Amino acid sequence: MKNINIITQKIIEAVGGKENIISAEYYATVIRLKLADIALVSGTILENLEKTEGFPKGFFWNKLSLVLRFSSTDDTEKIVQTDMIKFKKLNLYELNLSDFDDFELFAVITIDFCNIMY
């Protein structure tokens, strides 16, 4: 059984703490965290979390954001419902693609494509 509070706390630890999170958004199986200092991201913590808990199913980061992929919308919603991080829900029809850089667009499109395929 996945302990969502522990997983969420590990995600917060992996990004350098709550104070490093500028904003948090989610859509379906994707969570995007805009960070003050991307250098604080620990890929090792995220990789260990993925191996031990199966969460997240994939992650990407660039100079501004960390994008996490989960296997289902239920998993994403569970993370959001912990209220450990304040999230804004993105509606597919309200997405402003200019808010995403090329890397994030590639990551989100790849993630959504994978969800369609599996």
Domain spans in the chain, listed from the N-terminal domain onward: 4-117
pTM: 0.76
Q: Which CATH superfamily is domain 4-117 in?
A: Glucose permease domain IIB (3.30.1360.60)
- Contact assessment for residue 69 and residue 56, using Cβ atoms and an 8 Å cutoff: yes
Strand order in the sheet with 30-35: 58-61, 65-69, 30-35, 21-27, 88-89
Query: How high does pLDDT run on average in the chain?
Result: 78
Average the pLDDT over each of 23-27, 61-65, 88-92 and give the range with the smallest value.
88-92
- List 34's β-bridge partners, or say none: 23, 65
pLDDT tens, 12-43? 999 999 999 999 988 888 888 999 999 999 98
Contact 41, 35 (CB under 8 A): yes
Tokens standing for residue 89: 């829900």
- How far is Cα 2 from Cα 79, in angstroms, rounded to an integer? 11
Question: Which has the higher per-residue pLDDT, 54 or 8?
Answer: 8
